[in-house]
């Protein structure tokens, strides 16, 4: 099975590297500068599980695919940020054949609508991942803790020949693969958790522990948790009691240094997924479902985006 990984950043680069480590046929779709860097220095993973270096990873650029290089792939793994999705979809198009399966592991649900529109819902699987990783200054991938799970499944539930084939592909890899028969529910559960975590830590610009130590902090987190849960339930994907119990335990742990990657992006002046993670969740809420804290979070995030855009425009040479 030939696998195309869209990007070689922290997430796609990690899972793609581990697949290549296991001897799978993996190609990374990257920009020309990243392709040159990988050709020169290889792909390096620094991990508590065990370091890895691939001296010459297979890469293609969008221009290569457009010129017919590589042909159609059996599996395309989308791991890009939501704000890069539209360009990634266009870049990947020449690599998608009639039997190609598409596995996106973005957060939220909005990306499924975009992928379905272009490729058809029958080609697009459900998926998610759990990993804490970042790119180092030399382009190396730094895995911050041992968590590294990749979940995939048919959105309609059950099993199929193609997910069984993907399951076979995943055997023997270093990370933890999971074939789920309720993958859409799990995606909603993760979205609810992430929106609560990102919403609270970004709104307060603080860790979970710092929020809880502030007057009214627990109430803010609990209100966000309930708003996200109610929207998921209204969509037909009420988070399971055990999942909600774990969510509450994680997000109300006193002294916790836990923050969302979105907060780290804000603190670094980077782009964020405000519309994909928070805005789309609000948009899916029925009129009868109140979400005042989510509204404040969204206003806060959009104000950051507006300021960032204004400052970038002002910095451009006249």
pLDDT in tens, 257-294: 999 999 999 999 999 999 999 999 999 999 989 999 99
Q: Is pLDDT of 162 > 80?
A: yes
The arithmetic mean of pLDDT across residues 66-93, rounded, is 95
Predicted local distance difference test score (pLDDT) of residue 200: 98
> What does the mean pLDDT of the chain come to?
96
| Residues facing 26 on adjacent strands | 3
* DSSP tag of 317: -
One DSSP character per residue, 86-155 reads HHHHHHHGGGEEEEEEEEE--SSSHHHHHHHHHH-GGGBPEEEEEEEEEE-TTS-EEEEEEEEEEEEE-T
Say how far apart CA 231 and CA 235 lie, in whole Å. Answer: 6
34 phi and psi angles, rounded to 5 deg: -70, -40
The dotted CATH code for 3-181 is 3.40.50.720
From the list 190, 249, 302, 316, the catalytic residue is 190
Predicted local distance difference test score (pLDDT) of residue 31: 94
pLDDT band at 316 (very low <50, low <70, confident <90, very high): confident
Predicted local distance difference test score (pLDDT) of residue 151: 98
CATH of 186-315, one of 1.10.3430.10, 1.25.40.10, 3.10.290.10, 1.10.1040.10: 1.10.1040.10
pLDDT band at 238 (very low <50, low <70, confident <90, very high): very high
pLDDT in tens, 122-136: 999 999 999 999 999
The arithmetic mean of pLDDT across residues 109-113, rounded, is 97
pLDDT band at 225 (very low <50, low <70, confident <90, very high): very high
Reply yes or no on whether 190 is catalytic.
yes
Q: Is pLDDT of 7 > 90?
A: no
Where along the chain do its domains lie? 3-181, 186-315
Predicted local distance difference test score (pLDDT) of residue 171: 95
State the angle between helix axes of 183-204 and 217-234 in degrees (0 to 180), rounded to the nearest 10.
150
pTM comes to 0.94
Predicted local distance difference test score (pLDDT) of residue 90: 96
Predicted local distance difference test score (pLDDT) of residue 318: 73
Q: Is pLDDT of 157 > 90?
A: yes
Predicted local distance difference test score (pLDDT) of residue 192: 98
Say how far apart CA 68 and CA 64 lie, in whole Å. Answer: 7
Predicted local distance difference test score (pLDDT) of residue 210: 98
């Amino acid at each position: 099975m030939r696998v195309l990984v869209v990007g070689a950043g922290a997430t796609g680069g990690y899972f793609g590297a581990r697949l290549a480590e296991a001897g799978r046929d993996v190609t990374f779709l990257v920009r020309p500068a990243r392709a040159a860097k990988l050709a020169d220095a290889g792909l390096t993973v620094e991990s508590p599980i065990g370091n890895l270096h691939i001296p010459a990873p297979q890469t293609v650029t969008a221009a290569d695919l457009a010129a017919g290089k590589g042909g159609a792939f059996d599996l395309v793994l989308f791991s890009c940020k939501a704000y890069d999705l539209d360009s990634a979809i266009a870049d990947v198009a020449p690599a998608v054949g009639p039997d190609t399966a598409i596995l996106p592991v973005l957060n939220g649900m909005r990306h499924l609508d975009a992928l379905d529109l272009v490729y058809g819902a029958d080609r697009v699987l459900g998926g998610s991942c759990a990993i804490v990783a970042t790119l180092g200054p030399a382009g190396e991938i730094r895995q911050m803790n041992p968590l590294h799970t990749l979940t995939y499944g048919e959105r309609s539930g059950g099993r199929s020949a193609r997910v069984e084939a993907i399951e076979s592909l995943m055997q023997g890899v270093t990370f933890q693969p999971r074939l789920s028969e309720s993958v859409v529910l799990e995606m909603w559960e993760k979205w609810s958790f992430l929106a609560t975590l990102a919403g609270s830590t970004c709104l307060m610009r603080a860790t979970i522990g710092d929020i809880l130590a502030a007057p009214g902090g627990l109430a803010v987190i609990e209100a966000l948790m309930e708003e996200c849960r109610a929207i998921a339930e209204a969509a037909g994907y009420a988070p399971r009691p055990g999942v909600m119990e774990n969510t509450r335990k994680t997000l109300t742990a006193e002294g916790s240094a836990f923050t969302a990657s979105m907060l780290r992006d804000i603190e670094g002046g980077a782009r964020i997924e405000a519309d994909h993670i928070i805005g789309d969740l609000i948009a899916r809420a029925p009129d009868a479902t109140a979400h005042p804290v989510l509204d404040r979070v969204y206003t806060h995030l959009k104000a950051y985006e507006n300021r960032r855009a204004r400052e970038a425009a002002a910095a451009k040479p006249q």
